[in-house]
Amino acid sequence: MNSLLHITNGDSFTARLQKLPLTGDIITWREMLCEGKTLCNVGSESFWKTRFEFLNKNYKVSKSWFVEKTLKEYRSLCNHKQQDQIVLWFEYDLFCQINMLAVISWLKTHRRHAQISLVCSGKQDDTDKMYVLNELSDEQLEHLYENKVVLTQDDIEYADYVWQLYCSDNPIRLENLGDFGNYSYTYLHDALKVHLERFPSIKNGLNAIENRVLQVGATQKPKSKREFLGQLLSQGNTVGYGDTQYDRIIGNLKPLFSSLNPVRLNKMGKEVLAQQTNYYALLRDNDAYLGGALKYNYLYNTDNSRILKL
């Protein structure tokens, strides 16, 4: 009997997976590597130090929480050395796809003899809806598991290569990446497009997500900040952000709102949204990273979907 290890995308799905009639141990990957600075040597001391500094500064994550939740689970992964079959459970969105790349990069180095398989949720039926794992029935999850994709050595090398590019200081290299169809990652190309759109737009200095936050605020006119967060979460979430991430974005854009209860844009907010005013200089943060690249060292040209270096 082969020994089996499942690596999941988060605690809520881990709880769900524990109820399915599947064998094997479960490890939860508790990170959000799509935000903040990343180093390519996943699991190294410098990697975790960099991650803690970002999470502590931007999300007030305490050292004790980080050690207890993230590092303990990572050490548990390090201690699972015997399993020769490893199954990754991730979703279609940017949040999951970046975590997936990092995990595969780590496995390439530390579990090179294990068979790695991927279970990925997203498009499940004839509709345009993209599903997260917890939206699927037990039968659908078991079907996905039975049809899991065994990653080839080429798949593993490619994921590691894309991870290195994500951690590099030049997102233009990611933009020029091709060959997605030759590998087993159905949703990676779209996720990386979402990533590149997070660099500030040449039009008004806000990225695609920040512009969408303003757009929802202006058009939906939420009655409260809580309703605002709910509306942002309910719309096609290709980024995979939760309320904590959106709350931080709203905080950064606060000078563009006259009120958050109810949600109303001020004059400047309306001008920025209409691309009559560029907010780049006021938003610029010299310590803001997306992967290995400084966010405000690049601009995104929405006309031709290309990245420009400043």
Radius of gyration of the chain (CA): 20
Dihedral, CA of residue 104, residue 106, residue 107 and residue 109, to nearest 10: 130
Q: 4-189: which CATH architecture?
A: 3-Layer(aba) Sandwich (3.40)
Dihedral, CA of residue 177, residue 167, residue 299 and residue 296, to nearest 10: 180
Give pLDDT tens digits for 95-137: 999 999 999 999 999 999 999 999 999 999 999 899 999 999 9
Domain coordinates in residue numbering, the chain = 4-189, 208-309
pLDDT at 1: 45
pLDDT at 236: 66
Q: Please give the sequence-ordered ranges of beta strands (E in DSSP) within the chain, or none if there are none.
A: 4-8, 25-28, 36-37, 85-91, 115-121, 149-150, 257-260, 263-265, 289-291, 293-294, 298-301, 306-309
| Cα–Cα distance for residue pair 202/308, rounded to 1 Å | 9
Structure tokens at 60: 């007030």
Cβ-contact 224, 181 below 8 angstroms: no
Beta strands across the sheet bearing 85-91: 25-28, 4-8, 85-91, 115-121, 149-150
Give the distance from CA 233 to its chain's centroid. Answer: 14
Cβ-contact 85, 3 below 8 angstroms: yes
Cβ-contact 196, 306 below 8 angstroms: no
CATH dotted code for 208-309: 1.10.10
Closest by CA to 289, choosing from 206, 127, 193, 171, is 171
Task: Tabulate helix, strand, coil % of the chain (nearest 5).
Answer: 50, 15, 35
CB-based contacts of 252: which residues, under 8 Å, 6+ apart? 210, 283
Q: Is 19 left (phi over 0), alpha (psi -120 to 50) or beta?
A: alpha
Dihedral, CA of residue 70, residue 72, residue 74 and residue 79, to nearest 10: -170
Beta bridge partners of 221: none
Give the distance from CA 255 to its chain's centroid. Answer: 26
Give pLDDT tens digits for 272-301: 999 999 999 999 999 999 999 999 999 999
- pLDDT by residue for the chain (310 residues), tens only, comes to 469 999 999 999 999 999 999 999 999 999 999 999 999 999 999 999 999 999 999 999 999 999 999 999 999 999 999 999 999 999 999 999 999 999 999 999 999 999 999 999 999 999 989 999 999 999 999 999 999 999 999 999 999 999 999 999 999 999 999 889 999 999 999 999 999 999 999 999 999 999 999 999 999 999 999 999 999 998 767 999 999 999 999 999 999 999 999 999 999 999 999 999 999 999 999 999 999 999 999 999 999 999 999 9
Q: Give yes or no on whether 4-189 and 208-309 have one common fold.
A: no
| Cα–Cα distance for residue pair 198/206, rounded to 1 Å | 8
For tokens 């309703």, name the residue.
227
Quote the DSSP letter at residue 60: -
